[in-house]
Structure 1
């Protein structure tokens, strides 16, 4: 890719981000948009200070939301949305801390070495390859600098992962709280409501309650006529008893009775409880087959995108494409911005499709289905976006040279691996600038609300657009960016500053979304973090394996051999983390359970918790109906 194409991609993405963020700052000031941009605050009855007067300042873009995002502390995030939301913020902080240090090393040390790596003036001085490791001549001692930087980057990444161990302390603190939380809404009435109006409302509520009671009674009778389900929720009077029962084998035959800690009441997937245990393997196989078919199907557009990105080679295979060069600037836009934009467009529906597949896999909780979808989306992105983009790009770029000079294939492959950095630069720019900007603007929701407002109309007290945080979409996408950045940290330093900007923008956007927009429906107590740890571990391993291959192709076998112990140390560190930290996410220690029971007994909460838990786990048809009259004062 020529520098002009990269500049075109950066210009378009920066321009779009500036326009979208400016529109967001204006739209957020308008009181009519509060159900979109203050959904969580409205649902909690928080007062939102709007300027209702028609002033010019309401229509001027502002950046007040940016410094506010950096003033929000982790404790505030934990209190607002729980540990799962805090883990999302921790993921962005990891990216900022890691790539800020790597950028300093890359720009100060590696970039000058790569650019001056040729004894003679480089023939590719007009290409981005001049700033990558491919510009260093074979057998050069400069490659030892790359090895030293690889060791530092690897150890620094492992240090940041180990430093994140304090997440386990947060989990222990959260488990000390009540097992079941009340999610009911209080009944609030306008001050202007008269006694007559209140009497009418009360009579209507009583009639609706009677209707609902009859419907629920019919549903309950129909359910009791059916076959009894081989599943039950058991309530214990203490956490210690529940932990012992859930984490021990109840029968010599392990399949006779399987016990585990129940998810939160709102997290229960009642439809999946009806699936017999003997059919669960079939459901799991079905999920794997569907996810594999989706991955194979998306291989076609990814390969087509690489055909557009490799426009110079595409002209040799398809001469009519040369006509595009007759229009000034079109080829730069075509090769710089369009491939990554098209790829992001195709990938937008993947998380939703994977979530739909995972929800039919028999998970007893909605959060487990989301975690499975998160895992499938990550491996989909690694396979289709990273590896397939690399392979298809290398094939299109090197097939001619391979046929004419088969002996030089290893050197051409090494150059192709480095050269793919420019495509991933445009991908990071598009995913970060355009993707995060559209996330905070919520254009689809804004358009829908505008249509409803101008066609059907909506009242002053319309319910806000409340949605839960889409972990299955955020975590895989951000983890893929970490993987790309780590693999190319030593290969192409120019990518690193873009990643710092990517994570800073993502941090600001999602702090705003967590604080104002998204609602926490259920809490997994940080069970996403072991998966994030695993994704970062895979990224470090791929970085080291890639450098082993590149050192070999650059005729520096000593550096390749020296990297193997580094690889083994990384694997040993991951195994230690599995032994030391993973059980905290999967099990509830008896020591902590007993300690929390003692505190509850002193505060007189044991009986209260037991009664709440006994009444919380009811099927939807047996849950009590609560009707509220709420007024939202903005």
Structure 2
């Protein structure tokens, strides 16, 4: 990749980011777009049922037509940097704060690395004389490959419940269906009334109102009977494989959850239950003996997806290595007939195409994780988070590195096989320009599209012009996609750590990446996404593991590069650092990891004593007893629609 390609990529991504963020700042001020850009605030105001909440007052001020509504602004960025961690913790929970902490870690860490890299490593690399031939790689002169083998210019960087399974199937009842049809007919007849040629009015007669209320009472009573009969039939047919057990104290729940109940450890398994809103009821009916088979199937499916995606990644690297591609595929030279087109194709297109392919991966992995039999939604997302990260490391990092090196060096390797190690070391450093374009595309274009939400904008426009015309808009409220955000950001951390010494010029781009990501996701967490469960920081051990992998890869890379650069002493002295890193990881697993997985007996006892002082023991026990209620046993209100997580087992759509 030549300098023109890198400049073209930077110019396109910066231009797109400025345009998209400008468009977002204008669209966000339009009251009609509140369901897209303020769904969380709208949902909270609806729950509170306040006629003059702050969000409503904001809408009233913005509803007046003024020039300010159509002028771009950056007030959302300044507001994002004014939000404190305590505010995020109180309003969104610890899991949302972990994402913000990840961005803060990236900002602080790479600012320090940039100071060292740009002031010390970059001049050392640039003043080397390792590249005597003309290179097509624009960053080679600033990477460690520019230092000749054997040179002394070597720098090293040291751097209370248990869970239940089972949910009965829904049956169709003709009697309930008939009653619902009568209710709908009465409502339709009540609406069809005219008054002096005016539009239709909702003015039911007294007789119809009496019939309507009578039918509604009969329907609700019938629904309760259906639920009771279904539960009785299910209990007669088969005993539930598991159950929720409620304790009056946290101490008792902690002791049971952390102890083995039977001499056969797989005969009776106990575990702490997730939050009631976090329970994945559909997976509770899966017998425990089938879970290993489900996990194995998910691993096989994820592996096949990873192997399949090696094809587009190789094609992307073929586009990026355009100079070599012209020799193997002469018709590609036609691209050079249009001035500047080759720079766009080699600089911007590979990272954009790769980003487009990667976009669908988190959703595919989440779908697989749902088939693994996890008892909670959070465990499904954690499993998907791990699968997405390993997919990105395998395909985006390793396969991009290997395929790019092979495409670049295969000809040289055949003609000069003895020089293959030195060519490989140079090729590893040469991939820095591709990862610069990837960081630019993922950060500038990716984060800008994340905050603009073009998909929802198009869908809302189509809906407003078709079947949703004239209807009140409902907020587009979705949960925070941890399984998509954490792996992608962690991959950027990995790229930055590995290339911090190899190509320090990459570090300033990473600082911009994390600054923009921080502002974008503060806005999304505060205004857009909803917190649907709280794991009390279960995602942080995953982030710790991802950063550990990045440090180990960086150290292994430096061991290999020092060896290929004829510096065995530097290579050997890096090995103890790798050992110390692994030992530190083992210490963290012993010291900190159990805190995330288990509630200590000491803390459980302290919480129980606090409940006794506040007279909350019986209250908490009653709440816990009713909270973990399966959908088939929840109280029904057939005239009101609930959310997806509290929807009744028998609904009108099932008849």
Partner residue in 2 for 1:492: 503
In the alignment, is the contact (CA less than 8 A) between 2:130 and 2:145 conserved in 1? Answer: no
Per-residue CA deviation, residues 424-480 of structure 1 (Å, 9 max, x unaligned), is: 000110111111111111111111111111222356743211110001101110110
Per-residue CA deviation, residues 104-129 of structure 1 (Å, 9 max, x unaligned), is: 11111111111111289774497320
Give, in whole Å, the separation in 1 of the partners of 2:424 and 2:511.
29
- From 82, 87, 100, the counterpart of 2:93: 82
In the alignment, is the contact (CA less than 8 A) between 1:310 and 1:393 conserved in 2? Answer: yes
How far does residue 348 in structure 1 lie from its aligned partner after superposition? 0.8
Give, in whole Å, the separation in 1 of the partners of 2:225 and 2:451.
44
CA change 1:119–1:271 in 2 (3 A) is closer
How far does residue 23 in structure 1 lie from its aligned partner after superposition? 1.1
Give, in whole Å, the separation in 1 of the partners of 2:266 and 2:137.
65
Give, in whole Å, the separation in 2 of the partners of 1:64 and 1:629.
37
2:54 is paired with a residue of what secondary structure? coil
Give, in whole Å, the separation in 2 of the partners of 1:62 and 1:509.
14
CA change 1:313–1:125 in 2 (3 A) is closer
Partner residue in 1 for 2:105: 94
Partner residue in 2 for 1:590: 601
- From 322, 343, 354, the counterpart of 2:365: 354
Per-residue CA deviation, residues 356-398 of structure 1 (Å, 9 max, x unaligned), is: 1110011111111111110011000000110000000000000
- From 36, 51, 54, the counterpart of 1:47: 54
Partner residue in 1 for 2:166: none
How far does residue 605 in structure 1 lie from its aligned partner after superposition? 0.9
Give, in whole Å, the separation in 2 of the partners of 1:469 and 1:623.
27
Q: Does 1:292 align with 2:303?
A: yes
Give, in whole Å, the separation in 1 of the partners of 2:374 and 2:437.
38
Give, in whole Å, the separation in 2 of the partners of 1:218 and 1:434.
55
For 1:171-250, list aligned pairs within 5 A: 203=213, 209-210=220-221, 212-250=223-261
Partner residue in 2 for 1:111: 122
Give, in whole Å, the separation in 2 of the partners of 1:205 and 1:424.
63
Give, in whole Å, the separation in 2 of the partners of 1:561 and 1:65.
50
1:468 is paired with a residue of what secondary structure? coil
In the alignment, is the contact (CA less than 8 A) between 1:122 and 1:130 conserved in 2? Answer: no
Give, in whole Å, the separation in 2 of the partners of 1:10 and 1:76.
35
CA change 1:462–1:125 in 2 (3 A) is closer
Partner residue in 2 for 1:6: 6
Q: Does 1:322 align with 2:333?
A: yes
1:385 is paired with a residue of what secondary structure? helix
How far does residue 206 in structure 1 lie from its aligned partner after superposition? 5.2
Partner residue in 2 for 1:191: none
- Bigger shift: residues 398-407 or 558-567: 558-567
Partner residue in 2 for 1:188: none
- From 347, 352, 355, the counterpart of 1:341: 352
Partner residue in 2 for 1:161: none
1:44 is paired with a residue of what secondary structure? helix
Q: TM-score, normalised by structure 2?
A: 0.86
How far does residue 272 in structure 1 lie from its aligned partner after superposition? 1.2
CA change 1:251–1:121 in 2 (3 A) is closer
Q: Does 1:563 align with 2:546?
A: no
- From 245, 254, 275, the counterpart of 2:265: 254
Q: Does 1:136 align with 2:147?
A: yes
CA change 1:629–1:396 in 2 (3 A) is closer
In the alignment, is the contact (CA less than 8 A) between 2:137 and 2:433 conserved in 1? Answer: no
User: How many correspondences in the alignment?
Assistant: 585
Q: Does 1:18 align with 2:29?
A: no
In the alignment, is the contact (CA less than 8 A) between 2:39 and 2:476 conserved in 1? Answer: yes
Per-residue CA deviation, residues 322-349 of structure 1 (Å, 9 max, x unaligned), is: 1111110110010000001000111111
1:494 is paired with a residue of what secondary structure? helix
Q: Does 1:37 align with 2:37?
A: yes
Partner residue in 1 for 2:188: none
How far does residue 528 in structure 1 lie from its aligned partner after superposition? 0.6
Give, in whole Å, the separation in 2 of the partners of 1:345 and 1:306.
15
In the alignment, is the contact (CA less than 8 A) between 2:131 and 2:145 conserved in 1? Answer: no
For 1:413-562, list aligned pairs within 5 A: 413-458=424-469, 461-562=472-573
How far does residue 31 in structure 1 lie from its aligned partner after superposition? 0.8
How far does residue 586 in structure 1 lie from its aligned partner after superposition? 0.7
Give, in whole Å, the separation in 1 of the partners of 2:473 and 2:333.
55
In the alignment, is the contact (CA less than 8 A) between 1:290 and 1:357 conserved in 2? Answer: yes
How far does residue 561 in structure 1 lie from its aligned partner after superposition? 1.0
